[in-house]
Structure 1
Amino acid sequence: MTKTDVLKLLKNTNDYISGQMLCEEFGVSRTAIWKVINQLKEDGYEIESVSNKGYKIINSPDIIKDYEIESNKEFSDGFIAKVEYFDEIDSTNNEAKRQGDDYNSEPKLFITESQTGGRGRRGRNWVSPKGSGIWMSLLFKPDIMPSQASMLTIVAAMAVAAAIKDLLPEADCKIKWPNDIVINERKVCGILTEMSAELEYIHYVVIGIGINVNTTEFPDEIKDIAASIYSLTGVKVNRSQLVVVFSKEFKKFYNIFMVKKDLGDLVNDYDKMLINKGREVSTTGAVAIEGKAVGINSLGELIIKTKDGALESVRAGEVSVRGLYSYV
């Protein structure tokens, strides 16, 4: 019997569950049940205890521990099979890679309240304060070629954007190509994909996702572009619920991707989420291109129509794309 087991029963009923029923369900003593209930109360769960009736869950705290996520009744509908939680860690991506070579099971999520060494693209530091965001990494072994793995970043971005919209339908949530999630043109989420591979074989893929959910303060160097879901919408989102909905959305988009192992059948859905679409953009990097963003192709490349009418494709990782006059 675990906290997850007890929580599943409490969450999946609207009535009281007797201590005797819990004892019979798990084959343990009333004392064992009482201990788990008290542990859950200490974690912040509001559980009502009534003589001759039993236990009833009234409210759950905003925590992202494994048992809170795995006890969600929708968890089994998603892509993630197992969650490993840390109070604090250097980086969830690092931990996923440490376990990657020896992990041959179903997709696993590593999640933490705080990172001391979170990283964004190009090695930039990712600020990961405690108690307000989602800092997580998804470890799995897709049956694709290494050259196709970068497209999974776009799949993950679509899943995050769709999950936010599922919980907050009124939010102006979009994707800045290729994988920054923005609300009201302010960045709330970054995604970093890494892998271990040989020439024609992937050992594992790790998709690291950092979401500023209920964050209220940001360092000076990023406060002009960074924001949180809460700061932009005024709504505090339950973080574990967002993780569960992300898992469901990722499964949906991933299954579509795996049919052809490209983004061909996801292009239309992605382009609807793409904030750059129809806007003037410019690239920075080895190649400088200015023009209007048309959308993506089946490889996830951004198609830009230049002033002379030519269509140029831009691959993520080679260049960065910004709006001519703003971040997006």
Structure 2
Amino acid sequence: MQIVKLGAIDSTNAYLKRTLQVRQLEDFTVAVAEEQTSGRGQQGTSWVSEPGKNLIFSVFKKFNGFHASRHFYLNFIVSLSIYSTLKTLDIPNLHIKWPNDILSGNYKICGILIETILAGQMLKSAVIGVGLNLNQTRFPELPNATSLKLLAGKSFDRDEVLQMIIENLKSSFQFTGDSELEMLREEYAAKLFMKDCRAAFQILEGQEVEGFIRGVSEGGKLLVEFDNQAVREFDLKELKLLY
């Protein structure tokens, strides 16, 4: 495993994708940065981080025989790997906010952005970007954010936490058979934020509704049950959880 340490960079995902254009990368090549100037989250949202305080990295992952229709299982694997790492570090009240934010209580501590590279109908590789709030203690423009230091009352070593996450990722990516992937989906669903609790949502048309998160489909869509007992599937851009 190769680890590339960077200072200030536009984004670690962009760095790995640029590198791929000029040379091949080893499986599980990691780029880790002190600071991102153009970090992105889901749907183009920005990722704001105090330089040198947090864990900002991307991982290059190769695939062989992984069908593109299963791309959302990458979210399951990555989210659960980080969840497991944070559980080992005794971070309390952990949940996965669909599709792939990690929360402690109602507060976000980690965001994930996965970008895939296809070869026909097969998944060739992926660049997995992770931003984990580690030792930052002030979030003046992000009232719903927190960090491991605020939660645990101590500082964390970035290299040690990175190594733990990578080892969990390596272990999880060994299990990609049909039955194993289904178990991952069930485990992911069980850890969803607000699962089986009444929650408020804003749907695509701008309408606010209430319902219950019941799980995720095989395609990774969120399953929401409404008061008329109808269960609907929602994609990322079709639904926003209000909390």
Question: TM-score, structure 1 length as denominator?
Answer: 0.67
How far has the Cα of 1:234 moved from its partner?
1.7
Unaligned runs of 5+ in 1: 1-80
How far has the Cα of 1:187 moved from its partner?
0.5
User: Is the CA contact (8 Å cut-off) linking 2:2 and 2:26 kept in structure 1?
Assistant: no
Q: 3-state DSSP class of the match of 1:255?
A: coil
**Structure 1 residues 295-304 or 181-190, which shifts more?**
295-304
How far has the Cα of 1:286 moved from its partner?
5.6
Give runs of aligned pairs for residues 1-328 of structure 1, distance below 5 A.
81-101=1-21, 102-143=23-64, 144-168=66-90, 171-220=92-141, 222=142, 224-256=143-175, 258-260=176-178, 263-281=181-199, 282-285=201-204, 290-315=210-235, 317-323=236-242, 326=243
Unaligned runs of 5+ in 2: none
Which of structure 1's runs of 4+ aligned residues deviate more than 4 A? 286-289
How far has the Cα of 1:247 moved from its partner?
1.5
**Structure 1 residues 136-145 or 296-305, which shifts more?**
296-305
User: Is the CA contact (8 Å cut-off) linking 1:264 and 1:299 kept in structure 2?
Assistant: no
Cα distance, 1:86–1:261 mapped onto 2, change above 3 Å: farther
How far has the Cα of 1:262 moved from its partner?
7.8
Distance 2:104 2:132 in 1: 12
User: Is the CA contact (8 Å cut-off) linking 1:155 and 1:253 kept in structure 2?
Assistant: yes
Cα distance, 1:198–1:314 mapped onto 2, change above 3 Å: same
User: Is the CA contact (8 Å cut-off) linking 2:82 and 2:165 kept in structure 1?
Assistant: yes
| Richer in helix (by share) | 1
How far has the Cα of 1:190 moved from its partner?
0.7
Distance 1:173 1:235 in 2: 18
How far has the Cα of 1:311 moved from its partner?
1.8
Distance 1:185 1:294 in 2: 19
Cα distance, 1:100–1:319 mapped onto 2, change above 3 Å: farther
Question: TM-score, structure 2 length as denominator?
Answer: 0.88
User: Is the CA contact (8 Å cut-off) linking 2:69 and 2:219 kept in structure 1?
Assistant: no
User: Is the CA contact (8 Å cut-off) linking 1:294 and 1:305 kept in structure 2?
Assistant: yes
What is the total number of aligned residue pairs between the two structures? 239
Residue identity over aligned pairs, in percent, reads 26
Q: 3-state DSSP class of the match of 2:186?
A: helix
Residue of structure 2 in register with 1:14 after alignment: none
Cα distance, 1:268–1:173 mapped onto 2, change above 3 Å: same
Cα distance, 1:136–1:320 mapped onto 2, change above 3 Å: farther
